[in-house]
Amino acid sequence: MNGAISPQKTVQIALLVTCLSDLFRPQIARAAVELIEKFGYQVDVPRQTCCGQPAYNAGEKVKARILAENMISLFEPYRYVVAPSGSCAATIKEHYPGLFDEGSSEHEQCMQLVEKTHELSGFLVDVAKADLEKNPLFGDRSLRITYHDSCSGLRELGIRSQPRKLLKDRLGIDISEMPNSEVCCGFGGMFCVKYPEISTRMVDNKVDGIEGVEAEVLLGGDLGCLMNIAGRLRRIGSTTRVYHYAEFLADSDPGPAIGYRD
């Protein structure tokens, strides 16, 4: 296996699987485990549920707090918590603290989780200082690839350069940037089913951007957005395939794209 050799075998990392990956796309979580292990970290997946993001964004603060408490105690023993999703990581890092009274012991415990939680690419680049060697398997692939910056990761966690650096270092991929890469795709959790007409217009704008750069592949870091974009692309008969960036970075073949069987 290529990749850095690290003395960090003893460092325990918990994977925050994320509900969507757990249910709809296990291979994202698998790829995340593979990438983290590549750097000599030990990965564990404690039995988990949801970070509470849907409740929190719906204004259900009480429910969100109960789910947050579960997460805080679940991840207590680990050195790091890594999620292959900007929005799940941001829920913890940006919004958990507001659920507890400042100065309380719950808040203190919460801050410990906040400190050690990372989005996958942010963890690999900023914490593990990953220096991925080029993967020969993909060396010759000359796909035209564009990238969608999911909003939470981008604006709440500053995830923008990290996945691009990993893709460049490992696969030599230069992203064909679309002008609206930083504009919301219209997913927005409940928003896409509460206002499907508006959501569809927004994803159509995103599709315009993707088609504008004639991308064969769209990558991103949040499965909700990717399912939304992939679903629309598929519906209108586009041939662009959609993957999570982790699936591209891992050694194993990414396999069928989101919403495809082959």
Partner 1 sequence: MPNSWLILTRARQSAIGIDMQVKSSSFRTTATKALLDEDLRAAMDRAEGGFVDTRKQAVDELVNFQEYREFARSTKNHVLAHLDYYLTRFESNVMASGGQVHWASNGEEVNRIVLDICRRPGIDKITKGKSMVSEEFALNAGLEAAGLEVVETDLGEYIIQLAEETPSHIIAPAVHKTKQAVTDLFEEHHREAGYPRVVERLDIVNQARQVLRDHFCTADVGITGGNFLIADTGSIALITNEGNGDLTANLPDIHIVVTSIEKVIPDMQALGGFLRLLGRSATGQIMSVYTTLFNGPRRIDDLDGPGEFHVVLVDNGRSGILGSQFQDILRCIKCGACMNHCPVYTSIGGHAYGWVYPGPMGSVLTPLMVGQKNAPDLPYACTLNGRCKTVCPVMIPLPDLLRKHRNNLVEMGQTRSLQKWGMQLWFQVARNPSLYNMMVGLYALKLNMLARLTSAFRRGSFKRIPLLGAWTSTRDFPVPQTTTFQAQWKRQRGHD
- Considering beta carbons, is residue 215 or 258 the nearer one to partner 1? 258
* Nearer Cβ to partner 1 (151/171): 151
Q: How far is the CB of 259 from partner 1 (least distance, A)?
A: 4
Structure tokens at 102: 């400042």
Distance CA 249, CA 121 (A): 10
Total site size for partner 1, rule CB under 8 A = 69
Beta carbons of 64 and 99 less than 8 angstroms apart? yes
CA distance 99 to 52: 11
| Dihedral (Cα; 93, 127, 171, 169), 10-degree rounding | 130
From the CB of 198, what's the least distance to partner 1, in Å? 6
Query: Kind and range of the H or E element at 225?
Result: helix 223-235
- Beta carbon of residue 17, minimum distance to partner 1 (angstroms, whole number): 5
- Contacting partner 1 within 34-53 (CB under 8 A): 44-50, 52
What ranges make up the beta strands (E) of the chain?
12-15, 42-44, 80-83, 117-119, 145-148, 217-220, 241-244
Which residues in the 145-184 window bind partner 1 by CB under 8 A?
151-152, 155-156, 182-184
Among 41, 187, 243, 248, binds partner 1 (CB under 8 A): 187
The binder of partner 1 chosen from 97, 165, 234, 251 (CB under 8 A): 234
- Binder to partner 1 among 189, 211, 216, 251 (CB under 8 A)? 189
Q: Are 252 and 31 in contact (CB under 8 A)?
A: yes
The residue among 139 and 196 lying less far from partner 1, judged by its C-beta, is 196
Of the ranges 113-121, 132-140, 213-221, 231-239, which one interacts with partner 1 (CB under 8 A)? 231-239
Q: Is 157 exposed, middle or buried (0-12, 13-18, 19+ CB in 10 A)?
A: buried
Six token digits for residue 19: 């509900």
Measure the CA–CA gap between 54 and 39, rounded to whole angstroms: 32
Least distance from partner 1 to the Cβ atom of residue 219, Å:
16
Output DSSP code: residue 141: -
For 108: left if phi > 0, alpha if psi spans -120 to 50, otherwise beta; the answer is alpha
Report in angstroms how near the CB of residue 208 gets to partner 1 at its nearest: 10
User: Can you give the binding site for partner 1, defined by CB under 8 A?
Assistant: 17, 19, 21-26, 29-30, 44-50, 52, 54-61, 63, 66-67, 70, 151-152, 155-156, 182-184, 186-203, 205, 227-228, 230-232, 234-235, 256, 258-262
